[in-house]
Amino acid sequence: MSRYRGRHRGRHARPAEAPLAQAVGVARRPAVTAGMALTLVATGAVGVNATDAVAESEPLSLSRAALLQASDSAEQSAADSARISNDRSGANAQRAVLDAKAQAAAKAKAEAEAAAAKAKAEAEAAAAKAKAEAIAKARKAAAEKVARDKARESAINNAKEDPRSAARAMLSDYGWGDGQWSCLSQLWEGESAWRYTAENPSSGAYGIPQSLPASKMAKFGDDYRTNPITQIKWGLWYIDKSYGSPCNALDFWNNRFPHWY
């Protein structure tokens, strides 16, 4: 008769050993945490065998020498980083100073070049203006001289009809201006009334300036009796030589009676 293999089989059966053994093995194996891993690495770094340093379920630790060495290494690393940072900051600061100096020098050079260019342009403009003004002044003077020469020529050509205009045009030969003209006009008006044929019946003085004798005027031309220009030339020369100016001659003439000079 066969045995009963009913519902109580599982209740009295011996548990399988494999699961238990596996469970015990798992319970006895120490868990390797991140801290333990770091400890193993540090221990290996100082020459300790990592296999020997790990014990079942015992925490790993560094020796005092290893800690001091690690601390010194960390301090040295920090010092190196600080030194590099300081060196880099110093180099950057020095580079900034050099850049600023270079920019200032470039700016100063540009300003100096601009100032020099401006001064040169102003000098050239002033020179051009002065040259233009000098040319204009020379042209004006030349035009005025031409006008005076034409007026003089016309006055001389018409001296017999208008001896006063001829004499006035000839004042400039001695550097006399209009201020002397009124004196000359009064002087020769009193002497001859500006007639080139006037003759003093008692003395024989002749012509516009009343030369005595008349032949003195031959110094400026043999036509002294018929040419008022020859007479005026001699009369102006005589006044300049004897009195210095028509106004001085007139003063002398007014202080003599009967009038003479």
User: What's the CATH code of the domain at 229?
Assistant: 1.10.530.10
Boundaries of domain holding 242: 163-254
Residue 150 pLDDT exceeds 90: no
pLDDT number for residue 124: 93
Percent of the chain with pLDDT over 90: 57
Q: Is residue 136 part of a domain?
A: no
DSSP 241: H
**Spacing of C-alpha 152 from chain mean position:** 53
User: Which of the two residues, 100 and 152, has the higher pLDDT score?
Assistant: 100
Residue 154's CB: how many other CB atoms inside 10 A? 14
Q: Is residue 233 part of a domain?
A: yes
pLDDT number for residue 53: 47
- Highest-pLDDT range among 49-63, 123-137, 142-156: 123-137
Residue 13 pLDDT exceeds 90: no
Vertex 191 angle, CA 187 and 194, to 5°? 85
pLDDT number for residue 74: 86
DSSP 4: P
Write out the DSSP string of 72-135.
HHHHHHHHHHHHHHHHHHHHHHHHHHHHHHHHHHHHHHHHHHHHHHHHHHHHHHHHHHHHHHHH
User: Which of the two residues, 225 and 54, has the higher pLDDT score?
Assistant: 225
pLDDT in tens, 50-96: 455 444 555 556 688 888 888 888 888 888 888 898 888 888 998 89
Q: Is residue 245 part of a domain?
A: yes
Q: Is residue 80 part of a domain?
A: no
Q: Is residue 86 part of a domain?
A: no
Is residue 224 within 8 A of residue 217, CB to CB? The reply is yes
Q: Is 152 left (phi over 0), alpha (psi -120 to 50) or beta?
A: alpha
219 Cβ contact list (under 8 Å, min separation 6): 234, 237
pLDDT number for residue 5: 54
Q: Is residue 226 part of a domain?
A: yes
Q: Is residue 184 part of a domain?
A: yes
Q: How many domains does the chain contain in total? A: 1
Whole-prediction pTM: 0.49
